[in-house]
Structures are given as C-alpha cells and as structure tokens.
Amino acid sequence: MRTQVAIVGAGPAGLLLGALLHRAGIANVIVEQRSPDYVLGRIRAGLLEQGTTELLLQAGAGARMQREGIPHEGVELAFNGTRLRIDFQALTGQRMTIYGQTEVTRDLMDQRAALGLPTVYEAEAAQPHGFDGTHPWVSYRKDGVEHHLAADFIAGCDGFHGICRAALPAGAVSCFEKVYPFGWLGILADTPPVSHELIYGQGERGFSLATMRSTTRSRYYLQCALDDDIKGWSDDAFWAELKLRLPPDVAARLVTGPSIEKSIAPLRSFVAEPMRFGRLFLAGDAAHIVPPTGAKGLNLAASDVALLASSLADFYAGAGGDTVGLDHYSQRALARVWKAERFSWWFTSLMHRFPETGGFGSRMQQAEFDYLCGSEAAQRVLAENYVGLPLAV
C-alpha cells in the first residue's frame, strides 16, 4: 500500500491531521495499534481554545461541537479564602469551549468513516522506517499478516509512549523534563456541575479543580500524593475531601453521586527537540507533555497538526518544490510549545502545594496571587495564555 502521508496514531491529533490533509487533497492513511473502542475509552480533558474550535470547523468536524459545546468566558481562582474571576471575554475578546476530548475524537472518527478514509486499527508492532532518506515507510502486522505502508512523509501522532519518537537514533533528540511531586486524583460523575465556570482552588489541604463535561456530567480533581492508591479513595472519601477544599458556599451546593470513572494521573512537563527528523514529524504528546492545569495538551496538539498540515499543503501545491514550511516546522511549533509549557508550569506552581515549598515559598505564592488580584495587566497575561496564544500557521 502507498499513500502521501502515513499517520501513526488515531487519537485526536492524528485524526485532525488526517482531516485537514484530506481537505487539502492530500492522501493519508492512519495506523493505530488499539481498537476504536479503546481509543474512545480514554478519558481526557475537554477545554478547547478558540483556535482549536476553528480548526475543527475548518476540518469539517465541528458541527456537533457547535451545537453541544458549552461557551466558557472565564474561570475563578479561589486562593486561601480569596476569590478572583478571570474574565476572558473582557480581557481578550475570546472564550473557551467545554467539549470533551472523547467527543472530539468521536466526531473525527465518524467523519473519517463517513468519507471512507483508510484507518487501520489494531495494527500490531507498527514501526517507522527509512525516514532519514527519501522513501519512508511504516511496517505493521494486522490479523497475523505483515504490511508495508510506503509514504512521502510520516507523522508521529502516537503519544508520549508511542513508537515514533522511540524509533529515532540515539542522540537525535534532546529531551527536557520536569516531573511534579504530586498527582491529580480525578473523578467523573453524572451530576450537575457545581459552577457554570471552572473553579481552581488552592488552600492548606492542596489544589482542587471543579470542571465539567456537560450540563449533566461533572469532572473534579484533587491534588494527591504520587503513591496514593486509588483503592483507598472511595467515592464518599473523595466528595468529603473536595468539600473541604472548595469555598464554603460552593461546597454547600455541590451535588454528589457515584463515580463513573476515577483515576490518579501524574503531572509532568516534557519537550523533545527537534520535532522533525528527516521525513518523520512529531506532533502532540509524542513531542511534548504539559501538566493539565493550563488546559494546553489537546490544544497544543491541534496547533502542531495545523502547522504540519499547512506545511505539507504548501509542499504538494508547489509540486514538491516548496519545503520552507516543512524545514521550519519544528522551530515554529516549538516556539509556541515552550510558551505553553511556561504558562502551564507557572500556573501549576501557583495553584499547588509543593512538599519543598516551605514558609518562604508559600509567601511567594500568596504575593503572586495578591499581585494578580490587583493588576489588570497581570490578569490579561493569564487570560491571553489561557485562551491560547496565536497559532503559528
């Protein structure tokens, strides 16, 4: 089999890239090691930047998001008893949209199936080859049969633990990483959200976050120890701790119920440089990870694939002669990635309790929050970063 672009990974990054390439008339095949049900079963974030929603519409997969997405014009920070609302609309003229990553993935999957575009699920032992030359290809095994997918380019959209970055030669990539000394204990419940906007909390007991997936489904998080056992957190224990971390008036109106999903996720900041090696391009979690505090993960992936799709479109429109976009893909993508990494690191540092912080660090956090409360300029900086810096396309 042959195609123009072989995409490894059928998460939202790979699927969105495939949709954008199809719109540009570029043939592509997606190879995914898991089943469709497994991909859809991954519970992820659901806060979309305006640029991401515009990309989904551009890709032709945003109709349901437009109908069901919840406009989100601000967030509230609750810090040691003080409350501050960051008004995105007033400060930036932009807004966010609450629409679950699972739903984004489903919409892109359904669109791809309706168009009859090729996706190989349950492709075992997928491996990129020849990307340091002019004839790259991807091998995989399906139903016991070995397959060879030839392409002009390979896009590695296969996540942090995927094969594409791992397949690069030793020393080809520099990795930068910070592992945070705590995790997020998350719970999903079919209960109405406690607030129509996100509430980020920080207090003596640690970080909390009240968010939602819809008007009837809530998502809540608590900062927890990395070695916490999920079995030690009953639903009752979670709700009780959440009430202690929320502002009293918010806790009083919290509606509790049985969890439909519960997990503990570690937090890390990670960047791999460069994001291109020959004819292999990394995008999304394959190249970078951010702590979820700033809601940047899916949005950064969307930014990457928008830039990559645009660069590939220029290449094919120029009959293979225009390589400027491809040559500068890594540099341009990383410029936005590092700004998002900085914001996510800063916001995480402000809103969490760190074991090593001590008295001085706690006072610095308080001073930072007090400054934020008293400075419209500081609030605008937060808002500009939260709603998303301009795409590099």
Note the pLDDT tens digit of each residue in 224-279: 999 999 999 999 999 999 999 999 999 999 999 999 999 999 999 999 999 999 99
Domain extents for the chain? 5-71+96-177+267-354
Q: Quick check: bond before 118 cis, omega within 30?
A: no
- Confirm if 314 and 393 have CB atoms less than 8 A apart: no
Of 22, 72, 288, 352, the active-site residue reads 72
Annotated catalytic residue 296: yes
| Packed helices 376-387 and 358-374: angle between N→C axes, nearest 10 degrees | 100
Residue 393, pLDDT score: 54
Q: Which two tokens stand for residue 351?
A: 């809103």
- Helix/strand/coil for 213: coil
Cβ-in-10-Å burial (0-12, 13-18, 19+) of 377 comes to exposed
Q: Quick check: bond before 274 cis, omega within 30?
A: yes
- Confirm if 192 and 254 have CB atoms less than 8 A apart: no
Note the pLDDT tens digit of each residue in 178-189: 999 999 999 999
Residue 81's nearest CA partner among 222, 245, 196 is: 245
Q: pLDDT-derived band of residue 41, with 50, 70 and 90 as boundaries? A: confident
Of 128, 180, 292, 352, the active-site residue reads 292
Dihedrals φ, ψ of 30, to 5°?
Answer: -105, 135
Of 200, 220, 221, 329, the active-site residue reads 200
Average pLDDT, the chain: 95
**CATH T-level topology, domain 5-71+96-177+267-354:** FAD/NAD(P)-binding domain (3.50.50)
Annotated catalytic residue 200: yes
Q: Dihedral angle at the C-alpha atoms of 329, 333, 87, 85, nearest 10 degrees?
A: 170
Predicted model pTM = 0.94
Counted residue by residue, the chain has a size of 393
Determine which of 32-41, 166-175, 316-325 has the lowest per-residue pLDDT on average.
Answer: 316-325
| Packed helices 12-23 and 50-58: angle between N→C axes, nearest 10 degrees | 50
Annotated catalytic residue 142: no
Annotated catalytic residue 329: no
Of 22, 288, 296, 352, the active-site residue reads 296
- Confirm if 308 and 329 have CB atoms less than 8 A apart: yes
CA end-to-end span of the chain: 31
Calculate mean pLDDT across residues 46-56. Answer: 94
- Helix/strand/coil for 144: coil
Q: Is the pLDDT of residue 340 over 80?
A: yes
Annotated catalytic residue 72: yes
Residue 351's nearest CA partner among 237, 251, 221, 226 is: 221
CA distance 302 to 52: 6
